[in-house]
Every structure is written in structure tokens, then in C-alpha cells.
Amino acid sequence: MKSYPNSLFPHLSKRQECPECPVCFNCQLPTNNCANGGVCDPSGACVCPAGWGDLDCTQPLCGSLYDTDRPQRKRGEDCACDPGWGGVNCNVCQEDKSCQPFKGSNATCIKSAIGLKSLHAWCATTNIPWIDNTHVSLSCEWEKSECVFQFWKDSEEQFYCELSECTQTTSGDNDVQGRCAKADCGCMKDAFMCGKEVDMSELVKNVKGPSEWFCKNGKDCWYNEYSTLVSVFPDNIQLACDAGECANEQDFLDAVPIDQEFSSYTEMMIIGAIFIACILLFAITKVTATRQKKMFGTRIELDDDDDGDQSMLNYSTSTEVALTFADVSYTVAGKPILLDINGYVEPGQLAAVMGPSGAGKSSLLDILSKKHKQGVISGKILINGVSPTRRQFKRMTGFVDQDDSLMGTLTVRETLTYAALMRLPRKIPLKVKQKRVEDVIQELGISRIADSKIGMPGQRGISGGEKRRVSIGKELVTSPSLLFLDEPTSGLDAYNAGVVMECLQRLAHEGKRTIIVTIHQVRNA
């Protein structure tokens, strides 16, 4: 094979001198990681949490939390946030109107640091004099029990910790304490504290948790990590925070209840109250037992002819009820939730209040059923053209919540019998109450499961649709003329939802009852 000197082909020698192309970012490789809570996708790209960008989720995004096209912060500069937003990556809302374009007109900006579904906070440190201009950012996703903590100097991130197994508790109206059992931390390459001036990379890598923080009124806070960072930072890093979370009415309804802790004084008061309550309960039990012995100590003798008692089955309301509501409005803290709602429902009708989550369906149903609500309610609610007293209204109505509150160890018949014994007047004979229970069982079409146990987790019982009908039956034992149901098809499959709605239609038409329900969509009806 004949060879030629390079002088004849100078471009070949230049090509050999070219540097190698850099390897593309791939988080599947051990040399590339996703930072700040980013998740490595099988494709090799990082899926970054809200407010973070770049290939490895190391650069804050600007604009605002709900922007779909957020600009990436330029290195060495601060973010210019949209009006009403703050924080290093513009995730912290500042006022209610910042949230309303994205969460609805009833949305609010929660500034207490007590997170419903999430938490975003930007804090200045106040007790680290040996490092100037330092900040802390914290974000949490409570449905995942995960948080991410970042430490900053001069608006440049130094290190981060991805926290897991996180919980929060409250000890006052606006006081919250968060705890995370585990931590996985990383140092930012060439940052001031990670190689540029001080090298804490090995120290940060060894941080495994636990850690906790406390905030009072969403502003005065402290943070502590008990295993490793405590050797460098104060026992409690004091923080002046700005926290914010956008939430609407549905977010409040969907939020997982937060555990509460009490002070020692409060605990002593509770113990004392429990002791007194036990004494009162013992006394009441003795009195009740004496009365029950008089009532049921011997066999109950009833005449064969109980036609005279039949009329007592419909003791509460046997009249037909027409419900009228006009100009119903509802505001909370000056914010309108409902505005000038009008309607009319005739006897024998099944009316549905339909709308998406957060539209105010449940609020309207609560107001129509005269439940106690925080806020200002205005408008008229009339029964047959007359405004009834609260006592009169309660006697003629029933309310079925969307959550079934049933004892799993009782049968269907026992559940309805207990409801009848507890809610019907004492003057009504036991046989009449038992007859009412049997009528309700027939009316709801649940005779087949009358002697089946409700069931509980780990113990097979009746279906979800059957449980919902039992919950309806607990209200029907009082023979209400007006029945309210909050999302009776919630959590049910299409078949059971259809069975429940058919049952309600039959109850309305055949019993001339006035029934009002809330639903999400037409097909549920």
C-alpha cells in the first residue's frame, strides 16, 4: 500500500490536533447527577422540580411558580420575579391575587409556613457571622413526605439536601415544626464552600439526617441538622423567612390533617378534663343503665293491632317540602366564594349542583342545609315560602356526607337500628322503630345484605355502593322531607354510582322527598 507524506494533505494533521468532543450529559452515568430534588429519567435527562432548570437542575428559574415557559436565571445574577412573587427562584407567592389566575378567584396565598400540599420558603440567616450574606431555601411536597433544603452565599447555591420521611406538626394557630428522618446531600461544584475557598464536600456528603425546623407566624424560624452540619453551623440556624403557598377551597378540603402538639400546661389541662369527663361518664352510665333496665328489663308486650303506632313512623315530617333560595352569597375574609345564587326545588325532585373541584358546590350545600360556616352568609332560604327556625329546619332535613362513617363490626340492620334508637324520640315504641328500619331496608333495596357486616380493612364486607346506601339509610330512619347529599358518587365505580343515583331518584319520586346532591359531572347522574 502506497503512503503519502502529510505535507501533501495538511488538513489531516490539523484534524488530529482537534480536542475530543465533550460527553453529552447523561444522569444514568455515575459522573452526572440530578441536583435539588431532580429525578433521573431513563432517557438520561433530569426531570427538575418546580423552579429549577438546566441539564442537572442546578439553575433557578425566574418568572413565577405557575409560568409554563420560565426563563433560566443568568449565572451571577438575581432573578427578576413577576409581580407578586419572590424567593431565589420566584416560587414564593406574596399576595392572594398572585395565585388567583392559576388557582381560581377564591385562591389565597398562605404565609404561615404551615403547608397544605406544598411549601416554598426563602430565608436569610441571622446568626452565622463568619460567613456573609447567606440564605436558606426550603421546598416540600407533603403528599410525598419529601423536602429539599439549599444553602446559599451571595445568591449562589453552596450545597443541597434532599430530605425524606418528612412530617409536620402544629403547636399553635401559626406555629409549625417539620421533621425529616433521612437526608441525601450534595455539594455544588466550585462553589465558595465546596472547593473555591473552603471544601466541605466530604462533610456534606456524610449528612444523613435527621433534621428539623420550626417557624412562628411563617417568619421567625430555625433549622437544625443533628448529625454532621452541627459541627460547622450553630445548633439552630436562625432564619428570617418569607414563606408562601397558593391554595383554593378544594386544596383545604383535600389536605391531609396535620398532627397537633400541646404545651405541658395544655397537656395538664387535657388530663384534668379527661379525668372529670370519666367521672361524669360513669355517673351518666349508671343513670342510663337504671333507665334502660326499667325500659327493657322485661319482655316488651305489644298489642297485635299496632295501626295506631303506624302514624308515628312519619313523626318528623310527612309534609311535602319546596325549597327556595335567593341571592345566596358567601364571603370568607372579604373574599367572595359564592355570589347571588338562586334556585327552586319542588317536592319529588332530585336536584344536582354540578361543577369542578373548588367551584363551591360543597359550600353551597352546607349553606342550604344551614350548617355552621366561618365567614359571612347572606340571602334567603325558604321552606314552602316561609323561613323556618333552625330547630324546625333540623327536624325536617337529613344530611349525608361524602365519607361513610360506619362501624365495620356491625351488620347493616344493626347500623340502621342504632341510628333509629339514637335519633328517634324516646316516646316512639321500640317496635315502631324496628318497623321503620325494615321499611328503610326495603326502600333502599338492601334486604340481601341486611345481616352482612359492614366490614373493615382486612375483613371482607359490603361494597362501596352498598355502604353509601347504608349511610343514606341512617338519615332516612328519621323520615326527612328534605335530604342533602355531598358527592354521593365520590369514590364509586360507574356501576355503583349509577345504582346510588337510581336509588335517590326513586326515593325522591316515590316518597315525594326533596333531594339535593352535589356531583362533578353529568354522567354521575
- How many CA atoms does the CB half-sphere of 300 hold within 13 Å? 12
AA letter at 261: E
Cα separation, 425 vs 434, whole angstroms: 13
Cα separation, 234 vs 137, whole angstroms: 17
Cell numbers at 78, concatenated = 438575581
Kind and range of the H or E element at 167?
strand 156-170
pLDDT at 9: 56
Maximum CA pair distance of the chain?
Answer: 126
pLDDT at 36: 93
Kind and range of the H or E element at 118?
strand 118-125
* Residue 482 · residue 451 · CB < 8 Å: no
pLDDT at 122: 94
By CB neighbour count within 10 A (0-12 exposed, 13-18 middle, 19+ buried), where does 307 fall? exposed
Cα–Cα distances (Å) from 297 to 108, 291, 294, 304, in that order, read 59, 9, 6, 21
Cα–Cα distances (Å) from 33 to 45, 58, 66, 194, 277, in that order, read 10, 10, 26, 16, 58
Unique residue bearing C-alpha cell 361518664: 281
Helix (H, G, I), strand (E, B) or coil at 479: coil
pLDDT at 203: 86
Q: Categorise residue 84: left if φ over 0, alpha if ψ from -120 to 50, beta otherwise.
A: left
DSSP string, 15-70: HHHSPPPPPPP-TTSTT----TT-EE-TTS-EEPPTTEESTTS-EEB-B-TT-SSP
* Residue 123 · residue 241 · CB < 8 Å: yes
Sheet containing strand 335-345, strands side by side: 335-345, 323-332, 376-383
Cα–Cα distances (Å) from 19 to 6, 13, 24, 26, 508, in that order, read 19, 13, 15, 21, 82
Cβ count near 44 (within 10 Å): 14
Q: For the whole prediction, is pTM greater than 0.85?
A: no
**Cis before 60? omega within 30:** no
Long-range contacts, stretch 290-298, CB < 8 angstroms, 24+ apart: 296/430
Long-range contacts, stretch 414-423, CB < 8 angstroms, 24+ apart: 415/454, 415/470, 415/473, 415/474, 416/440, 416/441, 416/470, 416/473, 416/474, 416/477, 419/473, 419/474, 419/477, 420/477, 423/477, 423/478
pLDDT at 307: 43
- How many CA atoms does the CB half-sphere of 138 hold within 13 Å? 34
Q: Give first-to-last CA distance, the chain, whole Å.
A: 86
Cell numbers at 292, concatenated = 334502660
pLDDT at 21: 66
* Residue 243 · residue 92 · CB < 8 Å: yes
Cα–Cα distances (Å) from 355 to 248, 292, 351, in that order, read 15, 48, 13
pLDDT at 190: 86
* Residue 137 · residue 113 · CB < 8 Å: no
Q: 258: which residues sit within 8 A by CB, 6+ positions away?
A: 114, 168, 169, 170, 176
Cell numbers at 388, concatenated = 323556618
- Residue of 354, 359, 382, 360 whose CA lies nearest to 370: 382
Cell numbers at 200, concatenated = 466541605
pLDDT at 98: 92
pLDDT at 83: 94
Residue 236 carries which DSSP code?
S
Helix (H, G, I), strand (E, B) or coil at 207: coil
pLDDT in tens, the chain (525 residues): 555 565 555 655 555 566 666 678 899 888 888 999 999 999 889 999 999 999 999 999 999 998 888 999 988 788 989 999 999 999 999 999 999 988 888 899 999 888 888 999 999 998 887 788 899 999 999 989 999 999 999 889 999 999 999 999 887 667 888 999 999 999 998 888 888 888 888 888 888 888 898 998 888 898 888 667 766 676 778 999 999 999 998 888 887 777 766 444 455 666 777 878 888 887 787 776 665 554 444 333 334 344 444 444 554 445 788 999 999 999 988 888 889 999 999 998 899 998 888 888 889 999 998 888 888 889 999 999 898 888 888 888 899 988 888 888 889 999 999 888 888 888 889 889 899 999 999 988 889 999 999 888 777 888 888 998 999 999 989 889 899 999 888 888 888 888 888 899 888 888 889 999 998 776 555
